[in-house]
């Protein structure tokens, strides 16, 4: 964790982990997560963290995620729950909000397209 000069090191308050959304036959996906071997503070922000320190910490966490064999499972877990804090599957909370908004928009467009197609078929049949 990066620290600006003359500032005391702040310990991150790590929220309790939720139960994973799914498990495979070999056990829970998170048992293979690379982050289990790293400092949890890397993935969760300490209180009153300066922006530069937060950005550096998040980039470090993302580098850990990039080499993780269960990154996709972790990312989906964080999107499904949804996890409100921390870096999960290489995405920050803000990045996850963007992904979720895009998914909702695509789903709404898909439903609108399906409804329009059904209306057109009904009109053609009548």
Known binding-site residues equal 35, 65, 68, 74
- Tokens describing residue 111: 């439903």
| Annotated binding residues for [4Fe-4S] cluster | 35, 65, 68, 74
Closest Cα partner for 102 from 90, 110, 112? 110
Instruction: Give the DSSP per-residue string, 41-68.
Output: GGTSPPTT--HHHHHHHHHHHHHHHHT-
Among residues 87, 61, 66, the alpha carbon closest in space to that of 2 is found at: 61
């Amino acid at each position: 964790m990066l620290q600006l000069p003359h500032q005391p090191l702040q310990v991150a308050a790590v929220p309790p982990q939720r139960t994973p959304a799914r498990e495979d036959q070999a056990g829970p996906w998170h048992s293979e997560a690379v982050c289990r071997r790293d400092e949890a503070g890397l993935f969760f922000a300490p209180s009153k963290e300066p922006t530069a320190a937060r950005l550096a910490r998040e980039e470090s966490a993302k580098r850990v995620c990039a080499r993780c064999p269960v990154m996709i499972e972790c990312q989906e877990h964080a999107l499904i729950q949804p996890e409100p804090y921390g870096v999960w599957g290489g995405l920050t909370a803000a990045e996850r909000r963007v992904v979720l908004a895009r998914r909702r928009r695509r789903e709404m467009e898909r439903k609108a397209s399906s409804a329009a197609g059904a209306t057109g078929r009904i009109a053609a049949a009548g």
